[in-house]
Structure 1
Amino acid sequence: MKDLSHPLSPDTSVYPGDPPVRLDPHATHAADGYRVTDIGVGSHAGTHVDAPSHVLEDGDPLSAFPVSRFRLDAALVDLRPLDAGATVSIAALEAADPAPDCDLLVLRTGWDVHWGTDRYYDHPSLPPEAATWCADRGYDVALDCASPDPFGSTDLRAHRALSGTNRLIFENLRLGDAELPGQFRLHAYPLSFVGVDGSPVRAVAEPNSESSLDSDR
């Protein structure tokens, strides 16, 4: 199995304007004889999943989805190399020839190498027509960058194209140079909050019956 999540700490990069990750001592062994940590985290911190309610006022929150929805048969779409601000075409998605019965397209842009730097927000993006192509085929989408939309987008058209059909969007995966097969199972379970628009996930890849993975790094 491979952990594809970015660790969460006060040093974790968050989308500009989002709340930082906070890990404050609430009780300590020295003072209280036990330890409790006061955790503060935004719903879109680190590796996370977006609910439709993130961009749609009447969209479903994560709590509307059964837990089985976060266990996904994934197809890897390796798009590397991509330049800053590049867009992913429908032709590139079609060329990957994903299995028609998969649940999730994992888009490997290579942009997670810039995690923690300002350049990370110059990431490639999914134009609305490509997002619609995914939605029409019933694919959820995962990316190794901050968003399917360009940084600073105000209309969030890719988000809306996917969320409008109750597709889930997984952002900030840590793919790096992990040796992933073309098809695998992804487990990416959100915290069990009620009514939220997103949640950090522990995204873990495991082999399916037709593939294998090296041991976790």
Structure 2
Amino acid sequence: MQPLDLSHPLATGMPVYPGTEPVAVEPRATRESDGYRTTRLDLDSHAGTHVDAPAHLTDGPSLDEFSPERFRFSAARVDLRPLDPRESVGVDALRGGLAVDPAAVDLVVAVTGWDRHWGDERYFDHPYLTAEAATWLAERECDLGVDTINPDLTPTENADADEPEGFPVHETLLGADRLIVENLRRLDRLPDRFELHAYPLRFEGADASPVRAVAYAGDERR
């Protein structure tokens, strides 16, 4: 397998979590006018393909407190397709879909296929993990990757009154000092076992950061 880019490009007007300031990627200097090119990036730390730190919701560490090796994951994918909008994914689905022992990897990547809705309002009515599924991952010291904007439910006008509220998946995983990689794409092209590199920008107190998420076949560390 050739290295596979799993990141959405940063672009003006790209999807962001409801209530987040929009992303702007704008030229600031041009070769014609200034003799050189520069670009201004105006974005939230949770924009695009990004990794969440425990500091996002807990008193845990920020991204800059981890060594670079922490963002080089031994990963396994679990194909959960097909899924309906706002459908829950429980422990049985995770356990039954994994072809790899979760204790043997750092990261479980959940394939919902929802990246096909990127740029569409349907993207926000994605499937989600249950709190029990998050606990199951945390107990096995697994980080989580998703091809959705959120492993928890995202509020939209299509929400039901009896749906879970808040961020139980975030709270469970981040509370266990696990990491969450969100807004991945092209996960259907991955093998059952691979290595993922997703290095964040380094800034003090980073609660999250955009990443260039790149997958490699196998696991070079083992």
Taking the aligned partners of 1:33 and 1:142, their CA distance within structure 2 comes to 42
4+ residue runs over 3 A deviation:
none
**Is the counterpart of residue 149 in structure 1 residue 152 in structure 2?**
yes
- Aligned equivalent of 1:189: 199
Pairing partner for 2:170 from 143, 159, 164: 159
**Is the counterpart of residue 109 in structure 1 residue 112 in structure 2?**
yes
Query: 1:155, CA displacement in angstroms?
Result: 2.3
Identity among equivalent positions (%) equals 52
Taking the aligned partners of 1:97 and 1:23, their CA distance within structure 2 comes to 40
Q: TM-score, normalised on structure 1?
A: 0.91
- Aligned equivalent of 2:136: 133
Amino acid at match of 1:115: W
SS at match of 2:128: coil
Change (3 A) 1:82 1:193: same
- Aligned equivalent of 1:123: 126
Query: 1:59, CA displacement in angstroms?
Result: 2.4
**Deviations for 1:53-88, whole angstroms, at most 9, x for unmatched residues?**
1112x2211111111010001001000001111111
Pairing partner for 2:47 from 36, 45, 48: 45
Pairing partner for 2:33 from 31, 34, 44: 31
Equivalenced residue count is: 208
Amino acid at match of 2:70: R
Amino acid at match of 2:52: D
**Contact 2:197-2:213 at 8 Å conserved across structures:** yes
Q: TM-score, normalised on structure 2?
A: 0.89
Gaps of 5+ in 1: 211-217
**Contact 2:99-2:192 at 8 Å conserved across structures:** no
Query: 1:30, CA displacement in angstroms?
Result: 2.1
Taking the aligned partners of 1:207 and 1:173, their CA distance within structure 2 comes to 17
**Contact 1:128-1:157 at 8 Å conserved across structures:** yes
SS at match of 1:69: helix
- Aligned equivalent of 2:183: 172
